[in-house]
Structure 1
Amino acid sequence: MATTLPVKIEFSLPEGWQPAPPDEVGAPGVAFIALHSASREGFTANITIAGKMRDTIDLVAIGDESVQRLREAATVSVAHRTEVGTPEAPALTQTLRISTSLHGRLLDLVQSQVYLVMQDVHNPAEHAVIELVLTAKSTQIAQVEEDFKDFVRSLRPADSSAE
C-alpha cells in the first residue's frame, strides 16, 4: 500500500519521467514513483520517494537497514557511500549493486540512494528522513543518473504559506 510522507516536499521531474500509482506498478511502501519511459528493455528505470519520522538520525545505520532489506531478496553490495550535507541538514548517498532475478532471468541493477534529514517546521525537535532512490539496470544507469541528480537538486520543503 502506498504511503504518505511525514513532511511536505516539492520537486521537479526531469523530462522523460512519468509519475505512476505506486500500488499499480508494484511499489508498495513508497509515497511516489516515477518511471523512465525510454528505458523499458526488460526493466523500467524508476525513481521513488519514501520517508518517515525517525527517533535517531544515524544515516549510516539507516543505509545499512536498506541494504539488509534488499539482501532478503537479492545479492547486494555497497559500491559507494558518502556522508554529505551539513550538521544542520545531514544527508547520505550510497550506490548499491544488486543482482536478482525477474521472471526467471538474472538482472543486474544499480540503485542510487539519497537519505535527507528534514526538520519538522512545526516541531523542530522532530526529524523526518526522506529516502530518494533511483533503480536502473546496470546498462541503463548512464542514461538516467544525471536526471536523478537533477531531481535530487530540485527537492525542497513545500511552501508552508500555501496551506
Structure 2
Amino acid sequence: MPTTLPVPIQFELPEGWRAEPPDAAGAPGAAFVARYPQSDAGFTANITIDGEYRPDAAALSDIAHESVERLRKAVTSVEVTGGHEIGSEGAPGLTQTLAVSAVVGGVSRDLVQSQVYLSMLDVADPRKRAVIRLVLTATTSQFPYVLRDFQDFVRTVRPDTAAAS
C-alpha cells in the first residue's frame, strides 16, 4: 500500500511523464511514482517520492547515508558517486548520486539514482520537521537524458499550504 507524505507538497511533472499507482509500479513504500514514456533496454526511468517525520536532529547527510545503507540490503552493489548541499538555511536540502547494480525483473542492471532530500517544516505545526525524498532512477545510458527533467521537477516541489488549511 502506498504511503502518505508527512507534509502535503505540490509539484509539476515534466512533459510526457505519467503518474502510476505506487503498488502497480512496484514501489509500495512510495507516496508517488511517475514513469518516463520510453524504456531503455526494458527498464523505465522513474521518479518516486517518499518522506517521513524526523523528530531527531539528524543532518540530511546522515539521513542520506541511512538511505544508502537500506538500499545496500536490496541491491547487488551501491556506490555514492557525488553529492552536495542545496537550498538555504531556512529550506535546506541535499543531493546525492548513486551508481547501483541490481537485479530488476530477473535482469542484472546498472542504474543511476539521483536522490534529493528536502527538509520541510509542517505548516500546521512548525515544530515538526519532515524530510521529503525525491528519487530519479534510470539506466546509466538513459540517465543523462532524463536528468534535466528531474532537475526541472525538483524546482517545482514546494509545500502545499492550501492542503494544510
What's the TM-score bracket when you normalise by the shorter of the two chains?
over 0.9
Residue 154 of structure 1 aligns with which residue? Answer: 156
Is the Cα–Cα contact under 8 Å of residues 14 and 151 in structure 1 kept in the other structure?
A: yes
**Take 2:33 and 2:51, find their aligned partners in 1: how far apart are those partners?**
13
Report deviation, 1:88.
1.4
Secondary structure at 2:3 match in 1:
coil
Counterparts in 2 of 1:47-62, with a 5 A limit? 47-56=47-56, 57-62=58-63
- Amino acid aligned to 2:87: G
Q: Which runs of 4+ in 1 moved over 4 A?
A: none
Secondary structure at 1:122 match in 2:
coil
Q: Which runs of 5+ in 1 are unaligned?
A: none
Residue 115 of structure 1 aligns with which residue? Answer: 117
**Take 2:136 and 2:17, find their aligned partners in 1: how far apart are those partners?**
12
User: How many residue pairs are counted as aligned between the two chains?
Assistant: 163
What's the CA shift string for 1:117-156, capped at 9, x where partnerless?
A: 1111121111110000000000110110000000000111
Residue 64 of structure 2 aligns with which residue? Answer: 63
Report deviation, 1:80.
0.3
**Take 1:144 and 1:51, find their aligned partners in 2: how far apart are those partners?**
22
Q: TM-score, normalised by structure 1?
A: 0.94
Is the Cα–Cα contact under 8 Å of residues 110 and 137 in structure 1 kept in the other structure?
A: yes
RMSD: 1.5
Secondary structure at 1:22 match in 2:
coil
Note if 1:8 corresponds to 2:40.
no
